[in-house]
Amino acid sequence: MNDLVNYVTDGKIGVITVNNPPVNALSQAVRQGLLDAIRTAAGDDTEAVLIHCEGRTFIAGADIREFGKPHAEPFLPDLLNEIEASEKIVVAAIHGTALGGGFETALACHYRIALDSAKVGLPEVKLGLLPGAGGTQRVPRLTGVEASLELMLSGTPIPAARAAEAGLVDRVVNDDLLAEAMAYTQQLAAANAPIRRTSELTAESVDDGVFSAVSASIGKRARGQTAPTRIVECVRNATTMPFSDGQKRERELFDECMRDPQSAALRHLFFAEREAAKVIGLSRDTPMREVNSVGIIGGGTMGGGIAMCFANAGIPVTLVEINGKALKRGLSIIDDNYAGSVKRAKLSEDKAAECRGLISGATDYSALSDVDLVIEAVFEDPDLKKDIFARLDKACKPGAVLATNTSYQDVNAIAAATQRPQDVLGMHFFSPAHIMKLLEVVRADRTEEDVLSTVMALSKRIGKVAVVSGVCYGFIGNRMLQGYFREAQLCLIEGGLPESVDAALYDWGMAMGPISVADLAGLDVGYKARQALAETDRGDPAANRVPDVLVEANRLGQKNGRGFYTYDAETRKRSSDPEVQAIIEREAAALGIERRAIEPEEIIDRLIYALVNEGLQILAEGIAQRPGDIDVVYVYGYGFPAWRGGPMHYADAIGLDNVLARIEEFRERFGDENWTPAPLLTKLVNEGRTLAEWAER
């Protein structure tokens, strides 16, 4: 045994306790401790063995921090086979989340008891991996092929009660797990219950059509990912091969996953998401303010969704609109959203009604006199926002947090419109706000530390992934997007078509092509933002020409059914429009641009490297705390493929020297204005360092 794994005998029961905070991950020391304990039990006079964990959860998986490093014995599959081979009954007592290798450990035990609040799951696919310690062979033997594939391909944990129905857990209790588990183990020993080795069971065979149907669906549910196909092969093997052969092949495919850059990217994101929650320089015990009530100003596209985020977390919300008619419209948007969630079985009727009941409306700011937090989401007009913050300054109680949902505006200037700039920051949600997980938390120059820590903690409470940004035009995400959209428009006018530019990025892995995204967001939003800027600040005229002409031709995008594409009023299905091609060719000629064939590789590199170059500039300015934060922003807010790890991880994977060489080539061809390499890029290449190494500074 060791510090992390303890073994005692309690009567005729050998009790193995794992205690490796925070989540009892199966580090080398835990594996060694478990092996020593099970061997000790094999040799003593106990009749049965119980494995349980201290702390907030049963084993939540292999220790992800050990991945990518030389693998140390004992190897998990061997350890679990030894536990299963025990001549004494072994019982697992599950609380919290038994995930990945943790659930596989429980599956190697002969019986499983769980708290009703516990969950079990195999989330390896979210790390670009597969259950590599027997899970792909044992689960089908216990619960059949389809349930196994759903568990492994979704990676979503299931509650203990459902696991019991599925034959994965034998007993569910609602309290005092250790006592219940001890009693259960003693019962089994006293009853001389059989030693049930799952590996000795036979998995039901199913028609091969089941596997081909699932393989076909992978293209939709996990587009571009490689691990899901390997998972299907493993589960198929469980129905056709003896356990040992199936497990041998599982290991080979697991190693293939581990060597796959996709897994490195997804593991990077796992830790980047957790790092993003930490504000550099802000200690974990920074005090926080209470937030038990929220006010939202503006009940439009964003205000309604934002209100639902808080109501869904049980926090009462007051939605303030400019007048009764606008309020009615705002509340009906919310009603439609809830009806949609019920229709898609995301929420039960009762839960939707309960959450909706927490949202009330008002047209007078006095309704906000006692709320703990106010979020402004009115038109993107800086003067209107400053006026509203000056009014909030008078209406709200001392200590209330005042936030703006602006997409671009200067949060320092908005804060300066109040006598309490220390209570002001940006909370930039993404549309649709009740669905998108990303929240850019914009730290203004005078934002108080307890305001920042309050909002970072609150974001977790409302199910958001928060990333801190400094103040600049467009913060992290929208600022980087400008170069991305610029290159999309330039590729279009230089020779592409909406379909070809979109296909290049979609096939590369983006959730949606840039031209379709522009139509979705509304071409008028960008047009108004450009019109608000001085001519000289609007950037490359060739990049704005076509969208400007479309807006002036009242082609605003999906919102009025015509943009770069036309959209079916019923189905919203998009179709190409030869009129747009004619406009592109006409405007290219007017600008003296000779259109040419543009290969997908060039389109991809121009758009993605524009993101990367601006990302490096943002890091150098300290607008983003670390490269991983930018990756989290793009994966959770802009449909960047998670299996590529985000733009900054991707740049490191490609090699910063290759990125710089390509940018230099683009500078040669297209000029300094759009393609001056970020000084930090040149510096890191000269020093032969990666962004990840730079981030560890």
Sign of CA dihedral 510, 545, 568, 559: positive
Minimum CB–partner distance for residue 60 and ligand T1G (Å): 4
CB 685 within 8 A of CB 660: yes
Q: How far apart are CA 141 and CA 139, in angstroms?
A: 5
Mask of contacts with ligand T1G, 72-111, x by CB under 6 A?
Answer: ----x--------------------x-xxx--x-------
Q: Which residues bind ligand NAD (CB under 6 A)?
A: 297-303, 320-322, 326, 330, 377-380, 388, 405-407, 429-431, 521
Cα–Cα dist 312/351, whole Å: 9
Judged by CB under 6 A, which of 18, 25, 306, 623 binds ligand T1G? 25
Minimal distance, residue 491 CB to ligand T1G, in Å: 38
Count other Cβ atoms within 10 Å, centred on residue 156: 13
Given ligand NAD, ligand T1G, none, residue 257, with its beta carbon under 5 to 8 Å by kind, binds none
The Cα 91–Cα 5 span in angstroms is: 16
For residue 297, the partner it binds in ligand NAD, ligand T1G, none, with Cβ less than 5 to 8 A by kind, is ligand NAD
Q: What 3-state class would DSSP assign to 314? A: coil
Residue number of the CB atom closest to ligand NAD: 300
Q: Which stretch binds ligand T1G (CB under 6 A): 22-30, 311-319, 393-401, 609-617?
A: 22-30
Per partner kind, with CB cut-offs from 5 to 8 A, the member of ligand NAD, ligand T1G, none near residue 217 is none
Residue 65's binding partner, choosing from ligand NAD, ligand T1G, none, with beta-carbon cut-off 5 to 8 A by kind? ligand T1G
According to the binding rule CB under 6 A, does residue 135 interact with ligand T1G? yes
Q: Find all residues with CB under 8 Å of 262, minimum gap 6, and list them.
A: 128, 225, 226, 227, 643, 644
**Torsional class of 49: left (φ above 0), alpha (ψ -120 to 50), beta (otherwise):** beta
The least CB distance from residue 415 to ligand NAD, in Å, is: 15
Q: DSSP of 564-588, one letter per residue? A: SSEE-TTT--EE--HHHHHHHHHHH
Q: Does 124 bind ligand T1G (CB under 6 A)?
A: yes
Contact 48, 162 (CB under 8 A): no
**Which amino acid would we find at residue 481?**
L
Sheet of 424-429, strands arranged across: 359-362, 317-320, 294-297, 373-376, 401-404, 424-429, 438-442, 465-469
Q: Which of 16, 24, 37, 61 binds ligand T1G (CB under 6 A)?
A: 61
Q: Give least dist CB 133 to ligand T1G, A.
A: 4
Cβ closer to ligand T1G: 127 or 189? 127
The single-letter code of the amino acid at 351 is: K
Query: How far apart are CB 397 and ligand NAD at their closest, in Å?
Result: 19
Task: Determine which residue in the list 5, 15, 41, 63 makes contact with ligand T1G, applying CB under 6 A.
Answer: 63
Smaller CB distance to ligand NAD: residue 375 or 598? 375
The option from ligand T1G, ligand NAD, none interacting with 97 (CB < 5 to 8 A, set by class) reads ligand T1G
Residues 124, 616: Cα–Cα separation, whole Å: 31
Q: Are 293 and 360 in contact (CB under 8 A)?
A: no
CA dihedral defined by 222, 211, 252, 75, rounded to 10 degrees?
Answer: 90
Q: Which is nearer to ligand NAD, 92 or 521 (CB)?
A: 521
| Structure tokens belonging to residue 278 | 């930490």
260 in contact with ligand T1G (CB under 6 A):
no
Question: In 344-476, which residue ranges form alpha helices assigned H by DSSP?
Answer: 349-356, 382-395, 411-415, 449-461
- The residues carrying an active-site annotation are 104, 124
Could you say whether residue 65 binds ligand T1G (CB under 6 A)? yes
Closest CA to 550 of 518, 573, 506, 574: 518
CB of 378 to ligand NAD, least distance (A): 4
The residue (of 333 and 457) whose beta carbon lies closer to ligand NAD is 333
Provide the minimum distance between the beta carbon of 200 and ligand T1G in the complex, in angstroms, as a whole number. Answer: 21
From CA 656, how far away is CA 622, in angstroms rounded? 20
CB of 298 to ligand NAD, least distance (A): 3
127 lies in the site for ligand T1G, by CB under 6 A: yes
Q: Which stretch binds ligand T1G (CB under 6 A): 125-133, 281-289, 461-469, 496-504?
A: 125-133
Nearer to ligand T1G, 465 or 584 (CB): 465
Binding partner at 166 among ligand T1G, ligand NAD, none, C-beta below 5 to 8 Å by kind: none
Check residue 455 for interaction with ligand T1G (CB under 6 A): no
The DSSP line for 513-548 is: -HHHHHHHH-HHHHHHHHHTS-GGGS--HHHHHHHH
What does the binding site for ligand T1G look like in residue numbers (CB under 6 A)? 22-23, 25, 60-65, 76, 97, 99-101, 104, 123-124, 127, 129, 131-133, 135, 271, 274
